[in-house]
C-alpha cells in the first residue's frame, strides 16, 4: 500500500455515496483537491488532509439525512488500509455499545422506591403499623 491516502479518500467517498464536486457545498476549497490528493505520489501535508476530514465531517453532519452528532472523520483514516479501518470501526462501535447505560430494570426501580419510602416518616409509620398487626387466625373446624 504505497498511497494509503488515495485508497482512504476512495473508501470515505464510497461509504458516503458522494462525489467530490458535491463536497464544495460543505467547505471544500477547491474541487480539484480530491483528485490532486488521489494522484499525489508523495504524502500530502497534514493541513490538506485535515481540511478534507473537516469537509467530510461537515457532510456527515449537515447533508440530507445527516446526523448533527456524527463522529468526526479522523486523520488516522487516511493512513490505514481498508481492513485496518474496518477493524477500527467495529472496535469503536463495540466500545460505544459498551458505554451505553444499562436498560432500566423495573424490579430494581421498585425496590429502590420502596427503600426510599421506608426512610421517610410515613414509611416508618407504615412499618410500625405492620409490625403491630397480627395476621388473621385460621378457623378450626
CA distance 10 to 33: 13
Residue 139 domain flag: no
Residues 48 and 95 in one domain: yes
Range of the domain at 130: 102-134
C-alpha cell at 108: 430494581
Residues 62 and 122 in one domain: no
* Rounded (to 5) percent helix, strand, coil in the chain: 65, 0, 35
CA distance 70 to 82: 21
Residues 94 and 41 in one domain: yes
pLDDT tops 80 at residue 138: no
Full-model pTM: 0.63
Residues 80 and 111 in one domain: no
Residues 65 and 43 in one domain: yes
CA distance 3 to 79: 8
Residue 8 domain flag: yes
Phi/psi of residue 57, nearest 5 degrees: -65, -45
Residues 18 and 81 in one domain: yes
Residues 52 and 87 in one domain: yes
CA distance 23 to 65: 15
Residues 72 and 113 in one domain: no
Residues 18 and 76 in one domain: yes
Task: Tell me the mean pLDDT in the region 82-101.
Answer: 87
135: confidence class by pLDDT, cuts 50, 70, 90: low
Task: Tell me the mean pLDDT in the region 114-127.
Answer: 88
3: confidence class by pLDDT, cuts 50, 70, 90: confident
CATH number of the domain enclosing 63: 1.10.260
Q: Per the structure, how many domains does the chain have?
A: 2
Amino acid at each position: 500500500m504505497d498511497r494509503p491516502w488515495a485508497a482512504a479518500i476512495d473508501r470515505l467517498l464510497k461509504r458516503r455515496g458522494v462525489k467530490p464536486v458535491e463536497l464544495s457545498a460543505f467547505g471544500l476549497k477547491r474541487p480539484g483537491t480530491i483528485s490532486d490528493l488521489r494522484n499525489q505520489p508523495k504524502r500530502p501535508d497534514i493541513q490538506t488532509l485535515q481540511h478534507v476530514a473537516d469537509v467530510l465531517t461537515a457532510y456527515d453532519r449537515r447533508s440530507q439525512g445527516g446526523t448533527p452528532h456524527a463522529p468526526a472523520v479522523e486523520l488516522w483514516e487516511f493512513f490505514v488500509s481498508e481492513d485496518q479501518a474496518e477493524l477500527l470501526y467495529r472496535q469503536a462501535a463495540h466500545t460505544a455499545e459498551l458505554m451505553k447505560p444499562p436498560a432500566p430494570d423495573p424490579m430494581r426501580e421498585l425496590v429502590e422506591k420502596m427503600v426510599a419510602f421506608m426512610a421517610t416518616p410515613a414509611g416508618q409509620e407504615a412499618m410500625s403499623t405492620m409490625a403491630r398487626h397480627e395476621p388473621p387466625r385460621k378457623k378450626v373446624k
